[in-house]
């Protein structure tokens, strides 16, 4: 019998993997991948709660807005990375600490 608890544990593990990815990556696109993992874990929680609780579909509506914001965030983040690459020649986040080259 799969219960709410199973989904919560999976989401927690996915969230943790995302955190590890965000901390350990120095490649900025790797950090973005970690953020996507974290957002997916949050979405899994929202939808699991909307399935097993008496809140109706609100959780799913919220998850749609999370997906939209994830798309906006990915678009902006990659645009920033591209202009970072244009001015520094690398996307190593540790190399981009100076204000100008």
Residues 59-88 that bind another protein (CB under 8 A): 60-61, 63-65, 67-76, 78-83, 85-86
**Do the beta carbons of residue 54 and residue 41 sit within 8 Å?**
no
Can you tell me which of 42, 51, 96, 99 binds another protein, judged by CB under 8 A?
A: 51
With tokens 């999370």, the residue in question is 66
Among residues 47, 81, 51, the alpha carbon closest in space to that of 61 is found at: 47
Among residues 34, 14, 15, the alpha carbon closest in space to that of 24 is found at: 34
Smallest separation, CB 60 to another protein (Å) = 5
Can you tell me which of 54, 97, 100, 101 binds another protein, judged by CB under 8 A?
A: 54
Smallest separation, CB 52 to another protein (Å) = 5
CA atoms within 13 A on the CB side of 68: 6
Residues of span 2-31 touching another protein by CB under 8 A: 2-10, 12-27, 29-30
**40 vs 99 by CB, closer to another protein:** 40
Residue 35 near another protein by CB under 8 A: no
CA distance 82 to 88: 10
């Amino acid at each position: 019998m799969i219960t709410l608890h199973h989904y919560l544990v999976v989401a927690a593990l996915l969230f943790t993997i995302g955190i590890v990815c965000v901390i350990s990556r120095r490649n900025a696109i790797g950090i973005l991948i970690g953020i996507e993992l974290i957002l997916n874990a949050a979405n899994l929680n929202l939808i699991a709660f909307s399935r097993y609780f008496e809140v109706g579909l609100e959780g799913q509506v919220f998850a749609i807005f999370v997906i939209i914001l994830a798309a906006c965030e990915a678009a902006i983040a990659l645009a920033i990375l591209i202009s970072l690459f244009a001015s520094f020649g690398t996307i190593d986040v540790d190399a981009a600490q100076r204000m100008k080259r």
